[in-house]
Amino acid sequence: MDQGTGMERGRARRGDWVQIHSVVLSVGERSPAVPPETAAVSLELRLKGFALAEAELGAAVPVRTAAGREVRGTLVAVWPRYPHDFGEPVPELIPVGGELRAILREDPHDR
């Protein structure tokens, strides 16, 4: 359990923010109109929502998405993190915020 948060990473409680996974269409169920490399793999769903029941990792659990949909899938993460970022900082852009604020503070009549 994470200290001070009440979050258990291996078990979801009702109301916890979770991520689930399910196979929407297996190989062979895909449309014949999709390219062969697409038809060769299953169509999978991964989504995040609020657990509607308690569940252990790997168990099926219903969730309610932020949009209000109810979906059932295999629990793969409890309180999942967002691992993306915006990459390396661009040195030329670092001072832009301060420069813009200075411009906005200037009196247009002083120009």
CB atoms under 10 Å from CB of 51, counted, come to 21
Residue type at position 104: L
Q: What is the pTM of this model?
A: 0.68
pLDDT at 4 over 80: no
**pLDDT attached to residue 3:** 38
Instruction: Write phi, then psi, for 54 (nearest 5 degrees).
Output: -75, 150
**pLDDT attached to residue 48:** 97
Cα(63)–Cα(48) distance, rounded to whole angstroms?
8
Instruction: Tell me the two tokens of residue 4.
Output: 């001070």
- Tens of pLDDT along 54-83? 999 999 999 999 999 999 999 999 999 888
Cα(105)–Cα(111) distance, rounded to whole angstroms?
12
**pLDDT attached to residue 5:** 44
Q: Which residue has the tokens 């990459």?
A: 87
**pLDDT attached to residue 7:** 57
pLDDT at 90 over 80: yes
- Tens of pLDDT along 37-47? 999 999 999 99
Instruction: Tell me the two tokens of residue 22.
Output: 């399910």
Residue 38 contacts residue 89 (beta carbons within 8 Å) = no
* % of the chain beyond a pLDDT of 90: 72
Q: Which residue has the tokens 């409890």?
A: 78
